[in-house]
A and B are shown apart, each in its own frame.
Chain A
Amino acid sequence: MVNEIKKVAVLGANGNMGSLSGGIFAQAGIPCLFFARTIEKAQRGIENAVMQARSDVLREYIVPKTYEDLAKELPGCDWILEAVAEELPLKREFFKKIDEKRKKGSIVSTISSSLSIADMAAECSEDFKSHFSGVHFFNPPGKLLANELIFHPDNSKELRVFIDQFCEKALRRVNVVTCDKPGFAGNRIGFQFLNEAAIHAQTRGVETIDYLLGPHTGRTLPPLATIDLVGLDVHQEVVNNIYSHTNDESHDSFKLPRYVQTMVERKMLGRKSAASGGFYRITEKKDKLALTPSNLDYTKMAGVKDRLIEEIKLSIHDGTYKNAVDIIKRETSEEIQLVKLFTLRYVSYSFARVGDVTEPDEGIHGIDKVMSYGFSWLPPSAWVDLFGGPKETMRLMEKSAVPVPKHLKDAPEKTLCRIPEVTKYLIAYN
């Protein structure tokens, strides 16, 4: 195993996450080779990394290369970061080339957010497998520090410790060791919430769902606006993968709604297809329109408002967070019931995944880290604290017919959340 990272190869460096993830290595002062199909594409990746760092100095650490240079360059690299398109056959093709040319002991990682680590390396040599793992940054890694580490079963303890330490110290990541399960930890929990919001939009409407589950419920962006940002095609890929390969208590909430499927077919992908729109469309006159799921038409935003939601937002604005949470706990209007249900389900689903998608030893803290540092969402245990502790949260869950997970039942009756200043995730504006 290498004990120092002196040079890094980034494959798929033309892509957004490839360039930005590779840029984080360059920011640590490590010379990087950015590989793409053409030098121009690799150069574009470098510019992307420079923009993220906001420093021209970064160019001095990155050299553009094409895949024709792989055979010559890979033997000199200590860490090979794979970031090509999220297709198993394509990734396996690249891993075969890497396996042939890499020096023994060099680290190989993938930024894949959904494919199985074991499957990707299945056709590779023993040395490759024992040095291969998932190192999954969140988009954009310059702002979101979470890093899911998915180790291959053949990885030595020494390699695991080295990667963990390197990512934390040199790359300044907040690491979360996750299991090799679809969507790992962050996407599994995050997309459960997002897809359930898309399901409810069929009955409540797009604008209403995003209004009710907006930033005041502990997230930077409302859920459907988040799907627009991520891309509906990516959303489809993530939830379909999880739906096909898992079967937990919330299985149905991963089923892609038929209208979203149709939107993807019609290339209504969100922000990346501005003209055709997503859940929202901005007209040439800069009017914001919201989708009607039943006919996929757009209508002008109605300016939905609810007295209690506005009261929650005002309480957050004033810093009286307890008032905001008390409204969610106490009130029984249809609107607040929906906020309560989604929030409790998020907490319940998160606690139920401890030991399933993350190491049980870390308890809820691993999931807390990924949801705050990876999604900018109020972490689940912070909700438990705000609700008044595990017992009070369980009482609310029982009242709302939300499953009470074992890890919450076992939680001590004290402050659970270890993420500092979580109030920053309670946002008063839409």
Chain B
Amino acid sequence: MKNRVYILGGYQTDFSRNWSKEGKGIQALISETMEGAFSEMKIDPKEIQVLHVGNFAAELYAMQAHLGALAMSYYPALWGIPTARHEAACASGSIAAMAARTEIEAGIYDVAMVLGVELMKSVDSKTGGNYLGTAAWYEKECKGVEFPFPKLFDRLYDLYDELYGLSYDHLAHIAAINYDNAKRNPKSQTRDWYMNKQHACGGGEYNKTIGTRLRASDCSQVTDGAAALFLASHTYTESYARRHGLDMAAIPYIMGWGHTTAPLRFEDKAKEAKKGGYVLPHTRKAIQDAFQRAGKRIEDVSCIETHDCFSITEYAAIEHFGLTNPGEGWKAVENGMITLNGNCPINPSGGLIGGGHPVGATGVRQLLDAYLQVANKAGDYQVPDTKCAATLNIGGSATTNVVHIVGRGH
């Protein structure tokens, strides 16, 4: 218990904002997020001992690297502390959180800020799509391919279809649930969009097929956004709880985590999948590791924030989390299990499809949402009586897999 790592909350920007249209740089996005986190959680910047930043490709999108140093530049109180930027494609945010958690667990620091950030609307969609290709093996899989990622995940769709059969209707349903949940989230990107299953099932000018199978409504969004959270040791949390009149048993903490890496090329993943069992065995392993470390089972989880970069990714997550047997994810879609009122809601926040996907920020945002659910602070998208929530953050074509189990109690 003494080496528990607690989450003290944080802040997320409104993912519907377009910072480039506002004429603002990545430094403004970072500064507002940190300011929001400090003021919302009433934590003095001078108490922060270490800062970890998750970011995928600011060098490309914003011509800016060295984000740890950039982030602390606004706060003289932070000058001098250790900082680092972490990159693992769409899992960058979770990897930053892992680094902070490890340092606190090891007793090196008592309180860390974890920041995830991505500015993506600074370039047109084709250029951005090309940049995202660097999350795969660019030379071998993405060079010269327009919008490579939807096409890589088309191959996951093909794989499921080949191994188990898959109806598009189930994917459309998953997308519709995410858009629907996003309408309850005041910070989601699509909260005011017109979107439903009827639209997702329809093609036409406004819902084009991007690659060969997946449609626009199956894709997560291009998003400008950032999220920050505070991780803290037992000692710091005790003093924080005293100062703010909080019950330690009610403060969420990281119960378990899992982290695996699959081979980068999708082709190699497909070969493994065809051996039978789970389609993404490394994703499954990360989930199992997290549950084992937490001493929990899927039945203990009230809700999941998963990586739905595409509807097919969430489809895969259903069975990899153990909500159904392999190849039977459609059952959880049909029986309503994953809806907001179901037995195990997935992405009450709207996920990446409905909520938005600022790549480097997503893992941090997911942890923040897990915190909000467990702390009973998720407002209109609260899953009642959540004592335990899980996150799955994926980088590349299911390459880097990071899972967190967040819970509360003695």
Contact = CB atoms under 8 A, between A and B. Distances in A.
Contacts of A428: 22-24
Interface stretch (B85-93, B197-205, B308-316, B368-376): B197-205
Interface string A41-72: 00000000000011111101000000000000
A223 B28 CA distance: 25
Contacts of B31: 318-320
B199 A318 contact: no
Contacts of B220: none
Contact of B194 (A27, A313, A420, A427): A27
Nearest to B186: A420
Nearest to A429: B23
B28 A427 contact: no
B28 A318 contact: yes
Contacts of A319: 24-25, 27-32, 74
Given A317-B24, A423-B32, A428-B23, A57 B14 contact: no
Interface of B is mostly: loop
Contacts of A313: 23
A421 interface: yes
A111 interface: no
B199 A55 contact: yes
A424 interface: yes
Interface in B13-46: 13-14, 17, 21-25, 27-32
Contact of A421 (B17, B192, B196, B199): B17
Contact of A316 (B24, B29, B30, B204): B24
Contacts of B202: 55-57
Interface residues of B, number: 29
Interface residues of A, number: 27
A316 B23 contact: yes
A172 interface: yes
B29 A55 contact: no
A428 B28 CA distance: 11
A53 to B, nearest CB: 4
Contacts of B21: 427, 429
A320 B198 CA distance: 44
B17 A427 contact: no
Interface string A107-131: 0000000000000000000000000
A317 B28 contact: yes
Contacts of A142: 192
Given A316-B23, A420-B186, A427-B22, A57 B199 contact: yes
A317 B186 contact: no
A57 B17 CA distance: 26
Contacts, number: 72
A177 interface: no
Given A427-B22, A427-B23, A57 B28 contact: no
A172 B191 CA distance: 9
Instruction: Pick from A29, A215, A317 the residue with the most CB of B within 10 Å.
Output: A317
Given A215-B23, A316-B23, A429-B23, A421 B206 contact: no
A145 interface: yes
A424 B17 contact: yes
B261 interface: no
A145 B28 contact: no
Contacts of B206: 54-56
Contacts of B183: 172
A428 B74 CA distance: 19
B205 A56 contact: yes
B207 interface: yes
B192 A145 contact: yes
B329 to A, nearest CB: 26
Contacts of B32: 319, 421, 423
Contacts of A316: 22-24, 28
B192 A172 contact: yes
Contacts of B204: 56
A426 B195 CA distance: 30
Contact of B207 (A55, A58, A424, A429): A55
B108 to A, nearest CB: 31
Contacts of A320: 31, 74
Given A53-B194, A55-B206, A145-B192, 5 more contacts: A318-B28, A320-B31, A421-B13, A427-B21, A429-B23
Interface of A: 27, 29, 53-58, 60, 142, 145, 172, 215, 313, 316-320, 420-421, 423-424, 426-429
In order of increasing CB-CB distance, the 10 nearest A-B pairs are: A319-B28, A428-B23, A429-B23, A53-B194, A319-B31, A56-B204, A54-B206, A55-B199, A27-B194, A57-B199
30 contacts: A27-B194, A55-B202, A55-B206, A56-B202, A56-B206, A56-B207, A57-B196, A57-B202, A60-B198, A172-B183, A316-B23, A317-B28, A318-B25, A318-B28, A318-B31, A319-B31, A319-B32, A320-B31, A320-B74, A420-B14, A420-B186, A421-B13, A421-B14, A421-B17, A421-B32, A424-B17, A424-B22, A427-B22, A427-B23, A428-B23
